[in-house]
Structure 1
């Protein structure tokens, strides 16, 4: 995934489309309530989508962050080195993907696909993910009645992982309907179940602590 995701993200930014807003060094801002017919792509700039806006294409950046305000409708969100934040009651129709950035989704956010990271953490605060969450090296937190309909997977990096601290998956008053699976032999994974947090599937190769 490391090579594939990075390559795909950079390649997408190099392909210009007539309907897409594309920049190299500038940031992109979609105004409050605006209906943007295409996508947004930047190499070194950030992308900001203001309150109640709709973006009908994907938002992609290499070195910038992506910030989606509340009550927005967007498609896929993709960043290599920047964080991704999605505000309250926004809909992300497809996947959220980062390499080195974190992902944060606030209350009422609905993600129609997967959340994927390499080194970034994932933080859901009352959000719903239709599919699953996967990471190589990032902590995962579900809180405030978040729901993940699929699995949470720690992927195998296929090389030695130098992480010393345990990878933490915290399920706090939230639900994982699928499994939690650790494929990385070099990482200790601890699943914390807090305030009635549930994993309705199975937990593989991870320690479980109920609090």
Structure 2
């Protein structure tokens, strides 16, 4: 068991968009998660970019029914273990360092590591991985680049993140090697700060209805 795809893929396939959340205020975590789930987005990536992140994961895990809360921006084994202890059901990293991949090997909590090149993708395949984050998606070549990987690397599916928005998400989702996309547009900072949960639910509902064209 290298990546535990049996656990990871159902989480990623539950909706076309995984919200990428940078939560500054712990008190907004639970209502934010509930608003997103009400709109149909159940896999939530809370990035470890704020001091509140691990507490937010604990709160969402304990209080929000139906949430698959994961931790993003995992950079090292210490963060990996802290995120698992906080209750994360999946983990996401911007890249795939050998030390992190070795540490994740065999964990029941699956890691979705990031890649930006064909060489990095091949390394993950050699390690037994079947899914990866494509990051930063737009800056690394966008939909045309990841489309070009489908034929030579049929054993790998991707979740593009970075510059993905409502405007271009459907282009990614139309590709055969895309399992979902990640984006922050469904939880705008201004709406979170204002506690406008209805607006966030509306954005989530719009995102959950996305399909490829």
User: Is the pair's TM-score, using the shorter chain for normalization, greater than 0.5?
Assistant: no
TM-score (norm 2): 0.28
Q: Which of the pair is proportionally richer in helix?
A: 2
Q: Which of the pair is proportionally richer in strand?
A: 1
TM-score (norm 1): 0.28
Identify which of structures 1 and 2 has the higher relative contact order when contacts are C-alpha pairs closer than 8 Å and 6+ apart. 2
